[in-house]
Amino acid sequence: MPEILTGMNNAYDILQERGFIAQVTDAALRDRLGSPLTCYAGFDPTADSLHVGHLLPVMALAHMQRCGHRPIVLVGGGTALIGDPSGKNEMRRILSRDEVRRNAESIKKQLSRYVTFDGLESALCLDNADWLTPLNYIDFLRDIGRHFSVNRMLAAESYRARLESGLNFIEFNYMLLQSYDFLHLYTRHDCALQIGGNDQWGNIVAGIDLIRRVAGGQSFGLTFPLITTAAGTKMGKTESGAVWLDPARTSPYQYYQFWINTDDRDVERFLLYFTFLPAARVRAEIDSGIQMAKELLAFEATRLSHGDGAASQARQDARSAFYGDGGNLDSIPASRIAASSLRSGVPAFIFFADAGLCASRAAARRLIAEGGGYVNGERVGSFEDTITLEHVKDGYILLRAGKKRFHKVVVE
């Protein structure tokens, strides 16, 4: 008999209070969450790092684990071998087994900051390549394919949209594979709940159906709202691309900057989604001042994926850079230059471009001509002004592009 979870909040209530729930397949889920259950969310191992766009399911799994449930992180290594998930416009690059394995390994490592893979409610990390690749086509059609109605599949929102723009057979099969995953996890790991983005609704429901037909069991699905920013854009993208959890791709300082640039209107929502602060605390923080709340969001989010030290450092350096309380700016983006090359002076636009602050020398000319180039806090008058050793302070030259892009050039 399953133990009864007592003395802690129902995971459903927590997820609901925090705005994670867009749809659930069955209202009975809340009661079912009164005792421990295994749930899963899928991740595509298309890169060796997750980005903030993945964070919602990650946080949901973390909440589940904290409430005494067991999360399964499903890495879609098998599905990555064939390509495209539904809903995307372009074919996904097809990855080799080795790439997928490597990616899965580092993704698991990142996730271990959010869920624990050891201990009592240890999370599992599984790769669907393990059961998808040995599948035999004829067997699959006979045992699994027979349970799917094309008519019903076509009615799914995710496919209906694609009917206009075109849908290939692989994409169309995605629902079957994902359903099969759920069935597999249900029978092998007693996993009775799949969570995912709202665009996964059709696939999740299909999986639940398949479990009922094949295994005669009851399972559940829960989807998250699609997160957009108040400005209406997809959350987690910046001009320069995705915001990664991997510090080698997006440094903790940059990560912190991403969060602190959150739109005022999104701060409360994001605090609920991307931190573990109690909802009451979140409300209080919002009430006592949006800017402090935003800094808290940036700090907490950074702390979760990069740890205390990196988060403190990022906050410290951000304060120093923006409010000038003279810190050492250890974590802001930096490059190096030899002192000798400064002896005869370097034109500012070349200096900015070579430092990596501007994409090209032409861009650097533009930036400075528009009055957006600063050296040690002072606006550069002309892009031909020269940078010399006299600009070096404490061993470096501090550059700034526009209001908020700082860069340190260390002179050695």
Partner RNA sequence: GGAGAGGUACCCGAGUGGCCAAAGGGGGCAGACUGUAAAUCUGCUGGCGACGCCUACGGAGGUUCGAAUCCUCCUCUCUCCA
- Binding residues for RNA, rule: CB under 7 A, are 165-166, 168, 230-231, 233, 239, 257, 260-264, 290-291, 294, 318-319, 321-322, 346-347, 350, 353, 359-363, 365-367, 370-372, 384, 401-405
Residue 45 vs 372, nearer CB to RNA: 372
The pair of three-digit structure tokens given for residue 238, joined into one six-digit string: 């910046």
Q: Could you give the CA distance from residue 280 to residue 257 in angstroms, rounded to a whole number?
A: 25
Residue 319 vs 393, nearer CB to RNA: 319
Minimum distance, C-beta of residue 403 to RNA, in the bound complex (Å):
5
Write the CA distances from 38 to 11, 60, 188, 393, integer angstroms.
Answer: 12, 13, 11, 57
Strand partners, 56: none
Catalytic residue list: 46, 51, 54, 88, 92, 178, 199, 234, 237-238
Residue 265 vs 393, nearer CB to RNA: 265
Minimum distance, C-beta of residue 111 to RNA, in the bound complex (Å):
28
- 229 CB-side CA count, 13 A: 15
Minimum distance, C-beta of residue 312 to RNA, in the bound complex (Å):
13
Minimum distance, C-beta of residue 214 to RNA, in the bound complex (Å):
33
**Burial of 1 (C-beta count, 10 Å sphere; 0-12/13-18/19+):** exposed
Minimum distance, C-beta of residue 350 to RNA, in the bound complex (Å):
6
Q: How many residues does the chain have?
A: 412
Question: Positive or negative, the Cα torsion across 319, 325, 326, 328?
Answer: negative
Minimum distance, C-beta of residue 259 to RNA, in the bound complex (Å):
10
Mention every residue, 6+ apart, whose C-beta is less than 8 A from residue 266: 229, 230
Residue 123 vs 367, nearer CB to RNA: 367
Residue 139 vs 384, nearer CB to RNA: 384
Mention every residue, 6+ apart, whose C-beta is less than 8 A from residue 175: 86, 148, 153, 156, 159, 202, 203, 206
Phi/psi at 88 (5° precision): -90, 155
DSSP 8-state code for residue 391? G
For every residue of 71-119, DSSP letters joined together read: EEEEE-HHHHTT---TT-SSPPPP--HHHHHHHHHHHHHHHTTTS-SSS
Question: Positive or negative, the Cα torsion across 356, 361, 366, 371?
Answer: positive
Residue 94 vs 362, nearer CB to RNA: 362
The pair of three-digit structure tokens given for residue 130, joined into one six-digit string: 């393990």
| Residue tagged 């040995």 (tokens) | 134
Minimum distance, C-beta of residue 32 to RNA, in the bound complex (Å):
40
Residue 2 vs 324, nearer CB to RNA: 324
Using alpha carbons, select from 172, 217, 168 the residue that is nearest to residue 192. Answer: 217
